[in-house]
Every structure is written in structure tokens, then in C-alpha cells.
Amino acid sequence: MNTIMMMMRLLLLNLAILGTTAAPMSMLLAPFAVGVRRATSINSVSHQRAAGKSPSIANDFMRGGARAKKSATVTATDNDTDKPPAKFLQFAYSAAGLATTAAWSTMVYTTIRSNQPLGAMMPCWQHGFFARIGAMSAAPLIIGSFASLAAAASKADSWEQLDTPSCNRHNLALTTAGVGSALWVAFAPLVTKIPGTTPLVSHQSYKGVMRAGLIGCYGSAAALGAAVWARSLPDHIRHNPLLWPGHVADGVSKSLVSLAPQNVDDPVQVKYALLTSSFLVFTGMQTLCNMPISVIPSWTSRRLSRAFPAWTLLGAVTSFDLKEAAESGRLLVDENYRYLSNGIKGFGSLYLGARAGALFLDPSFPEAFHAVNQVPGLAVAAILMVGLTLRSDKK
């Protein structure tokens, strides 16, 4: 019970922090109250089918490996047999988003503190405070992603309407982040171990109810994303799981070769293209590189530097969706993209606020920032990259 109460308190604290960012909470959490709406867009594949033509394979799959939406002229019988539980999915995404945010808040609070491990005292209270604020910059990304999926689910009249590039990418990204975070919790003593200590001393080690609760939160979010992604696949792929890895690889490959903006004279497209590439680079650095390189951009040393890439990957997916929305002219008119855009801005506001606090308000800077001091160029590059998040989406 104490564990549950602590997680709920952390969630409320996290939501209070988010309320101070550039993205109002009413906009981030709006889709939790969205009613069922009917999608109205009809694509080229629908026109081909309506005309009795067989759509080409190139038209069957949009960028990112997703199948195009079916024409809105499907019969009532088809809708009844292929209609997703919109209200349930909306509730499920909302609950999973809150659980994931609470789980991450708990990890941040319990790992970035004095006496973790016993005797590892923070040099001053500001040191741990701004480190926590910087790590909590992931929360707006989490909320924005789940909010956009909840809004999409609330409007879906068929599973095919959930088989869009944006939904597919975010479902897979949240599945990856959930699985990765659950593994981090399970193997925290090894991931956060302090070199040269005998017996093994680590910054974090979860046990009992706390460990089960965190793994359960991340695992349920991952299971939800994977289940919706799999159910919305085209029939010939959904019924043959052996085709799933190739389908995912095709989508990832198409996205990677589309990182460049369509119009280099459009500053919004350029902004999100740069953010996507930067998030991917920093994700790779945190995952594959050794200390001190892996401390960028989280500034959390061995405490959370291996957990943060789950959320920079989500930031890359979010930025890529916003880049495509800017290219198609939907960025400022589709509410789903407003949630994603607010998530990116919230991330930037918290991250830059934490870095400013560390630089100008933390009396232990720079002496206590040993890892960051070894890679000052990368630290500056991360700050400049994140600064792009605060640029307006208007040209």
C-alpha cells in the first residue's frame, strides 16, 4: 500500500510540474475526454478500390510500412464485424499512459537521491533536484504519445483506421520503451553497478512489490501497444507472424531514408528533421557507448543513463511524425499532432530548465559533474539540439 501511495503522489507531483511547461495540461490530457468521432479522410487506395481497380503494392503501404485507410464507403456489416472497441482502447491508452508516467516518476525519485547506494551522498540538495527535473523531461513525451493514440482510438470505426503510420510507429515505440524499461528494472543492480566495488554495489536495486509494480506498469503498456499494432495489420500479414519482422524492418527502413525534409526552405520541416536525427543519435550513444559518452543527454551518470534512451527513442518517433505532418500540411489542423507537438515542447522546457538550474543555481557545478565535464562538446550539442523544441510550429 505504501508503494502504491508513493507512486500516486509522484504522479500528482509530475502532473503539477508539467503544468508549468509551455504545453498546458488541458491540451495534453484533452483526449482522455474525447468522444467517439467518425474519420472522414479517403485516400488514393480507396478511390482505386471504389473504381474497381486493384491498388498497387506501393499504394497499399504508406511511408512507415502502414496500410492506407479503407474507403469510408464500407458497408454497415463490414463495420460491425471489423470495428475496434473505441471506448475501451481510449480508456486503456489513458490508463497505460498514467501508469507509465507514474512508473518513470518512481524510478527517477528512488534512483536520483542521496544514500542511493548507502553512503553516496549528493553534494547539495540542488544537485539531485535539477537532476530529477532533467530526467522528468521524458514525462511530456510519454503523455503526448499516449494522448495521441487515445484520441486516434476514440475516432476509429475500423481497425484499418488504426493502421496509420503515426499509430504504428507510436505503438511500436511504446512497446520498445516498455520492454526496455521493464528489463532495466529487472536488471537494475547490474545496469547501475559501480565499477571496482566488491561485493557488488549499485545505484539501484528493486525488490518485492516495488519491482513487480514497475515491471507490471511498463509491461502492460508494451502489451497494449503490441496488441493494437498486431490487430491492425493487413490480414495477410496479421495471420502470418513470420512476416512481422520483415514488415517492421520495411517500415523502419522507409522512415530512415525519409529523414531529410521535403522542403529545406521550410523551417518547421527542417526543425523536426534535425530533432529526429539528433534524438536517434543520442539514443544510440546512450545505448551503445560507454561512460562518459552515455551520460549525454541525460546528465544522470550511471543512475539512469541507460534508462533514458527509451524516451529519446520516443522523442525521435514523435519528431518524425511531426515532420511528416508539417510536410503534408496537417500539423496545425489535426488535434493528434497538437498533443505530440506539446509533448516535444514540454520535454524541451523541462530539460532546458534543468540544465539552466544546474549551470547557474547548483553550487556543486562543475566539480560534482565528473562525467559531463569529460564530454563538454556533446553536452553543449545536446542543449542546442533540445533548444529547437521551443521553436514555434508556425513558419
- The per-residue DSSP string of 288-327 comes to HPPTTGGGTTT--HHHHTTTTHHHHHHHHHHHHHHHHHHH
pLDDT at 364 over 70: yes
Residue 321's pLDDT is: 97
**Cβ atoms of 107 and 214 closer than 8 Å:** yes
Residue with cell 487506395: 45
**Sign of dihedral through CA atoms 155, 158, 159, 160?**
negative
> CA 224 → CA 83, 95, 139, 217, distances in Å?
17, 11, 19, 11
Residue 22's pLDDT is: 39
Gap between the terminal Cα atoms of the chain: 50
Residue 197's pLDDT is: 82
- For the packed helices 376-387 and 267-288, what is the interaxial angle rounded to 10 degrees? 140
pLDDT at 335 over 50: yes
Nearest to 299 by CA among 115, 107, 137: 137
CB atoms within 10 A of CB 197: 10
**Cβ atoms of 199 and 127 closer than 8 Å:** no
168 versus 81: the higher-pLDDT residue is: 168
3-state secondary structure of 248: helix
Q: What value does the mean pLDDT take over residues 176-205?
A: 93
Residue 6 pLDDT class (50, 70, 90 cuts): low
pLDDT at 67 over 90: no
**Cβ atoms of 252 and 292 closer than 8 Å:** no
Residue 17's pLDDT is: 41
Measure the CA–CA gap between 308 and 290, rounded to whole angstroms. Answer: 14
Measure the CA–CA gap between 221 and 159, rounded to whole angstroms. Answer: 19
Residue 50 pLDDT class (50, 70, 90 cuts): very low
Residue 34's pLDDT is: 40
**Sign of dihedral through CA atoms 288, 291, 295, 297?**
negative
Residue 198's pLDDT is: 75
Q: Which of 3-12, 96-105, 155-164, 298-307 has the lowest mean pLDDT?
A: 3-12
Q: What value does the mean pLDDT take over residues 317-342?
A: 94
Q: Which of 13-17, 122-126, 341-345, 358-362 has the lowest mean pLDDT?
A: 13-17
pLDDT at 77 over 70: no
Residue 232's pLDDT is: 94
Residue 75's pLDDT is: 40
In 31-166, beta strands by DSSP E = 61-62, 66-67
Measure the CA–CA gap between 347 and 345, rounded to whole angstroms. Answer: 5
Q: What value does the mean pLDDT take over residues 46-59?
A: 40
**Residue 73: DSSP 8-state:** T
Measure the CA–CA gap between 207 and 179, rounded to whole angstroms. Answer: 18
- When the pLDDT of each residue in the chain is averaged and rounded to a whole number, the result is 84
Buried b (16+ CB within 10 A) or exposed e, 79-109: eeeeebebeebbebbbbbbbbbbbbbbbbbb
Residue 15's pLDDT is: 42
Residue 395's pLDDT is: 81
